[in-house]
Structure 1
Amino acid sequence: MQARVTWVDGVTFVGEAGSGNSVVMEGGQKNNGIRPMEMMLLGAGGCASYDVVTILQKARQDIVSCHCELTGERPDATPAPFTRIEMEFVVRGRGVKETQVARAVELSADKYCSASIMLKNAGVEIVHRYRIEEV
């Protein structure tokens, strides 16, 4: 995997992934891009959400939507790494079985989500929850 981060001006940078996709990152002064630590939080949520959705689809659950609400806690110091991340998956569907959602979240947390597992191995406490909404 390869990537490149290029300084634009001030505290604005463009990150280009090897896949050809790019994203604007910014240090927070102008608020014209995602902050790098927000990117890490989004990456963990995106990785875990991918796992949960694909596992539920393979289990033939009739899901209509899924989103992950994330909260990251960081100390008021420098450096300020995450100390705790809470992930709540909101799964909407028809007749979705709670056992299947619990299993999908557990498999993502313990086996498949490289981003979450990397953060957990670095000492970040990660809490997983889920909520099922019938449509």
Structure 2
Amino acid sequence: MKAKITWAGDARFDAESGSGHQVTLDGPPDHGGKNQGPRPMEMMLMGLGGCTSFDVMSILKKSRQDVVDCVATLEAQRADTVPSVFTDIHVHFTISGRNLKENLVKRAVQLSAEKYCSASIMLEKGGVKITHDYEIVAVD
């Protein structure tokens, strides 16, 4: 896996993934940025959310669950001192579908957290406390 980060002036950087996708990273105005993209730590949080969501949906599809929507909402706390690392992250899943079985949703979230999500497992090894919960929304 590769990435390329190119300075684009002020506190802005253009990031390109090895697969050719691009995103602009920028700092807040009080740090010389113009708020033209997410902060690098926000990207880490979004990466964690994407990683665990990918796992949960994959597991639920293999379990033949009729999911119509999956939203992961993440909240993180950071240390007050430099380096301002994540200390706690909470991931809340809202999973909507038809006749979803709670035990399978719970299992998918748990498997992602404990076995499959490389991002969350890596962050936990670095001392971040990550918690998860979910809600199921029934649709017709």
Taking only aligned residues, the RMSD between alpha carbons, in angstroms, comes to 0.6
Equivalent of residue 76 in structure 1, options 72, 77, 80: 80
Aligned length: 135
Secondary structure of the residue aligned to 2:121 is: helix
> 1:40 corresponds to which residue?
44
**Distance (Å, rounded) in 1 between the aligned partners of 2:8 and 2:114:** 38
**Distance (Å, rounded) in 1 between the aligned partners of 2:91 and 2:119:** 13
Counterparts in 2 of 1:7-86, with a 5 A limit? 7-29=7-29, 30-86=34-90
Tell me how far 1:76 sits from its aligned partner.
Answer: 2.4
**Distance (Å, rounded) in 2 between the aligned partners of 1:44 and 1:50:** 10
TM-score using structure 2 length: 0.95
2:100 is equivalent to residue 96 of structure 1: yes
Could you list the structure 1 runs, at least 4 aligned residues long, displaced by more than 4 angstroms after superposition.
Answer: none
Tell me how far 1:114 sits from its aligned partner.
Answer: 0.2
2:124 is equivalent to residue 114 of structure 1: no
**Distance (Å, rounded) in 2 between the aligned partners of 1:93 and 1:51:** 17
What runs of 5+ residues in structure 2 fail to find an aligned partner?
none
Tell me how far 1:18 sits from its aligned partner.
Answer: 0.4
TM-score using structure 1 length: 0.98
